[in-house]
Amino acid sequence: MKTTEIYSTTPTTNIRHWGPGLWSGIIAGFFIALLTFWIISYLGIAIGGHTAAAVALDELDSVGIGASIWLLVASIAACFLGAYFCSRIASYASWKAGIAEGLVVSSTFFMFLALTSGMGLAVVGQGVAKTAGLAAGASGPMLARAEVQTVIGNALSGLSLKSDPSTVVTRVGTDLLQGNTQGARNYLAFQTGLSGSELDARLRTLQASIIQAGEEIKSKAGTTLAMMGWFAFLATLLGTIGACVGAAVGARQNVTSPLRMWATAPVSDVA
């Protein structure tokens, strides 16, 4: 009689689900990441302050670039250490679980920064709104810029005005930015008493200067917003990668030197 042997394929690995132990590691990793970030950031502020005091005014841009690089490194180091200790405290030996822990630590870390720091969504949103207003030629945001005020003031210098110069600057600038050239001409003729070719020449020069200043302002605003976006993108991406690496390293070390000496054997990969 032929018999059939049946073998069990049920894994005997001690599988632990996401429970209080894991969340305690994530919470601890989050606070360790914040502590690391602020320690490195404050050190950078101290060093940057001494550096800014020693450099010339035309070299301050290099200080800003150095500060951005410093914050980038601080974010990577903070995510790495936070995720590393998260994995160690949770006592997982699976690098796959470690990567999941690193993603959670990284997401909570950057979400906290987005809500409390200059990388916040409100700041980015304001930057987008201002840039969009400048790109659309909105008279309010454009006229409020000191560069445009200076251009109009220089064009009207030496003229005898009936009203306060600031009032004339605002009125003429608003009309020109809104495309109401005839309105600006009539108002300027009333204020100065000029007429004919002299008035038209001043108005053409003023309009060309305003357009040039506006283009420069829009270019600077767009460049600044792009730099903010690229910095936030690189900090988040590299910080997340650092968190995944740190958590995976911590998971591997749980096999050889677990932090919890009383805990059961860490879970290892079965795949």
pLDDT tens for 63-122 read 778 888 888 999 999 999 999 999 888 877 677 877 888 899 999 999 888 887 654 444
CB 174 within 8 A of CB 197: no
Digit-coded pLDDT (tens) for 27-73: 899 999 999 999 998 898 888 877 777 766 666 667 778 888 888 99
Predicted pLDDT of residue 242: 94
Q: b vs e for 208-237, b when ≥16 Cβ sit within 10 Å of the residue's Cβ?
A: ebbeebbeebbeebeeebeebeebbeebbe
DSSP secondary structure, 84-100, as one string = HHHHHHHT---HHHHHH
Predicted pLDDT of residue 243: 93
pLDDT, mean of residues 212-230: 79
CB 246 within 8 A of CB 80: yes
Predicted pLDDT of residue 109: 92
Q: How confident is the model at residue 151 (pLDDT cuts 50, 70, 90)?
A: confident
Looking at residue 188, its amino acid is: L
Give residue limits of the domains in the chain. Answer: 20-118+234-256, 133-218
Predicted pLDDT of residue 263: 46
Digit-coded pLDDT (tens) for 226-261: 888 888 899 999 999 999 999 989 888 887 777 654
Residues 9, 14, 15, 20, Cα dihedral to 10°: 170
